[in-house]
Amino acid sequence: MNRKRRLLLLTALAAPVAYLAAKRPRRVAGAHNEYFQGLQAALQQAGLFRPTLVIDRAQLRHNLGRLQTNLPQNKKFRVVAKSLPSLPLVREVRAAMQTDRLMVFHQPHLNLVAAQMPDAQLLLGKPMPAGAAKRFFADHKPGAFKPARQIEWLIDTPMRLSEYREVAASQFGGKARLRVNLELDVGLHRGGFRAPRDVAEMVRVIQADPTLEFSGFMGYEAHASKIPDALGGPRKALAAAMKLYGECVQAAQEVLGAAFDPDALTLNAGGSTTYELYDESAPCNELAIGSALVKPTDFDTQTLLDHQPASFIATPVLKALDRTELPGLEAMSGLFRAWDPNTARTFFIYGGHWLASTVSPPGLQRNAIWGHSTNQDMLNASADVQLGVGDTVFLRPHQSEFVFLQFGDIAVYEDGRIVDFWAPFPEGSSTGSRA
Ligand SMILES: Cc1ncc(COP(=O)(O)O)c(C=O)c1O
């Protein structure tokens, strides 16, 4: 073999080796920092040796402070109840933000809030089946809360409006009107009205109907924060959404004439990932926000850099092994470990498979071959991650909606201690609202 050919052959062999060496996962070492050590001690002191959802009250207050500062002066704040699904949590947020406005997304939550917060003004965040609206009335016990004045039902199609006309007639018998709010499709394309002329027609139909009252619009624009710069970016998408929103408000004004009073209407937009992009010029008069106050990982966005994570899942380590063995692949353990040093050890935790990512100690990872368990999930780590049986693993939920409901009472962490427990919303029972 001449020198040139030998060099070529060596290069051909070296290239994949270099590629693999570059791709080989780096060993990650880690231990709880002071913050998570404190949280672990507080949970153990409170006798919480089970999967627990924790809210850090100081971080929650920080986020409330950011919201107060960032919210444009002429926009009211509406609490997105599904993202903060606990009455005491909603109370805390309402008190800090001085608001009686809530957005509700689930019929049992609607009954609960109506019964427990009789001063609240409720806007539905999605169009409920008319049957669910009837069920609300069937379960609702008359009291201080007046559904005719305090609930705005969301309408997305002319068909749904007809169904709600029937709800209005059967519930109020002509004595009161059912308030209906029109869902606008301002770019999310999740349903609702898109053309101002269709909006005008709907407002006309509602105005002419003695059983219904037009209460405003809901135009959710979460897509805006996800639009890449190559497609114009979030600000441009939000501007387009608000242009269409403004045209729909204009359409309503033309139909309503002298009766048009924007301050009396609910002109809703939102949420968490877009609210910091708003200024006073937007044609809406309120923003619905929830998740930004507890900041799960889906909300680690460029638009929420000043908000801090305020919610964690804590769970004990049940078993710590100094090896990783996969059933049927025991002989491969050394190979897996040689490739990825972060598979050297195995931890089985109490529960698992939540919509969540591990956050402390750093260096924990899931095992793609072993899969998931909701009973005892497997986590792997390098030999340099400090964790043992009885220690706590911390995760951050990807979202608060639904995930917060999976742990029983939420533990409230403040000044190094668990100071309170907040019951999550019930998801429903066959006998109606528990309230
Ligand atoms: C209609 C509507 N408004 C606002 C929001 C914002 O909620 P969050 O701030 O929790 O993202 C949502 C979330 O799904 C929504 O569906």
Q: Name the residue of 220, 268, 307, 311 whose CB sits within 8 Å of the most ligand 1 atoms, as the mutation to test its pocket.
A: 220
Measured from the Cα of 292, ligand 1's closest atom is 9
| pLDDT tier, 418 (very low <50, low <70, confident <90, very high otherwise) | very high
Pairwise CA distance, residues 388 & 172, whole Å = 62
Measured from the Cα of 82, ligand 1's closest atom is 10
Tell me the percentage of the chain whose pLDDT exceeds 90: 91
| CA-atom Rg of the chain in angstroms | 27
Pairwise CA distance, residues 81 & 105, whole Å = 8
Tell me the percentage of the chain whose pLDDT exceeds 70: 98
Give the pair of three-digit tokens for residue 144.
């201080």
Residues, the chain? 435
* Cβ 234 under 6 angstroms from ligand 1: no
Measured from the Cα of 273, ligand 1's closest atom is 11
Atom 12 of ligand 1: nearest residue by CA position: 271
Q: What is the pLDDT of residue 434?
A: 46
Give the pair of three-digit tokens for residue 400.
């608060």
* Cβ 83 under 6 angstroms from ligand 1: yes
Q: How far is the centre of ligand 1, averaged over its atoms, from the C-alpha of 289 (Å)? A: 6
Task: Kindly write down the DSSP assignment for every residue of 359-427, as one continuous string.
Answer: EESTT-EE-TTT---SSB-EEEE-TTB---TT-EEEEEES-STTGGGGSSSEEEEETTEEEEEEPBPP-
* Cβ 219 under 6 angstroms from ligand 1: no
Q: How far is the centre of ligand 1, averaged over its atoms, from the C-alpha of 377 (Å)? A: 31
- Cβ-Cβ contacts under 8 Å for 146 (sequence gap 6 or more): none
Q: What is the pLDDT of residue 429?
A: 77
User: What is each CA distance from 101 to 107, 120, 231, 288, 290, in whole angstroms?
Assistant: 17, 6, 34, 9, 12
Q: How far is the centre of ligand 1, averaged over its atoms, from the C-alpha of 382 (Å)? A: 39
* Cβ 296 under 6 angstroms from ligand 1: no
Pairwise CA distance, residues 316 & 349, whole Å = 6
Atom 5 of ligand 1: nearest residue by CA position: 271
Q: What is the pLDDT of residue 221?
A: 97
Q: What is the mean pLDDT of the chain?
A: 95
Q: How far is the centre of ligand 1, averaged over its atoms, from the C-alpha of 318 (Å)? A: 37
The torsion angles phi and psi of 188, rounded to 5 degrees, stand at: -75, -30
Strands (E), 186-264: 212-218
Strands (E), 226-383: 266-270, 286-289, 311-321, 345-349, 356-360, 365-366, 378-381
pTM, 2 dp: 0.94
Give the pair of three-digit tokens for residue 157.
């199609």
Contact 145, 115 (CB under 8 A): yes
Q: What is the pLDDT of residue 95?
A: 98
Identify which of 242, 199, 198 has the alpha carbon closest to the alpha carbon of residue 219: 242
Tens of pLDDT, residue by residue over 248-295, are 999 999 999 999 999 999 999 999 999 999 999 999 999 999 999 999
Tens of pLDDT, residue by residue over 1-14, are 677 777 777 777 78
Q: What is the pLDDT of residue 431?
A: 66
Neighbours of 1 (CB within 10 A): 8
Indicate the burial class of 34 (C-beta count within 10 angstroms; 0-12, 13-18, 19 or more): exposed
* Cβ 125 under 6 angstroms from ligand 1: yes
